[in-house]
Structure formats: C-alpha cells, structure tokens
Amino acid sequence: MSAHCQLTGRKPGFGNTVSHSHRRTSRRFDPNIQRKRYWLPSEGRHVRLTLSAKGLKTVDTIGIEAAVARIRARGEKV
C-alpha cells in the first residue's frame, strides 16, 4: 500500500537522521495512513478509502459524499 492519502494528497516527506556524531543518513517521514470503509448511500455500496488521520477528520466534517466527489474531481477512481 502506498503511503498517500486519497483525499488530502499527503505523501511521505524525506529528510535525514542526524546522529550524535552528526553523521547524516536518509530517512522517510510517513503520514499516518489508515484504510477505512464507508457506506456510500447514493450508490448503495461501501467504498474503502486510504486516508491520513487529517483526511479522516475531513470526512467527518464534510461528509462522505462530498469527500468522494473531491477524490473523483482529482481524477482518482473510487
């Protein structure tokens, strides 16, 4: 599963781990990705979305119908 949010578009960030001796090694900051199943009343079916924690809160605020509309507007298949 790729670490990106279908709603907000959040992706991993990259940076360095800096040791005590100040050596730098590459690392990756992954977003908090969750897979959640929602009931979509307009289509009479469930949809499974890959969302970040912020994306989950956004769905709670705007509703699943508006969230799916935003995802489809970005060109992603739901």
As a whole number of angstroms, the distance between CA 57 and CA 34 comes to 12
pLDDT digits (tens, 9 = 90+) for 25-64: 999 999 999 999 999 999 999 999 999 999 999 999 999 9
The pLDDT of residue 2? 79
pTM: 0.84
Dihedral sign (CA 47, 49, 70, 54): positive
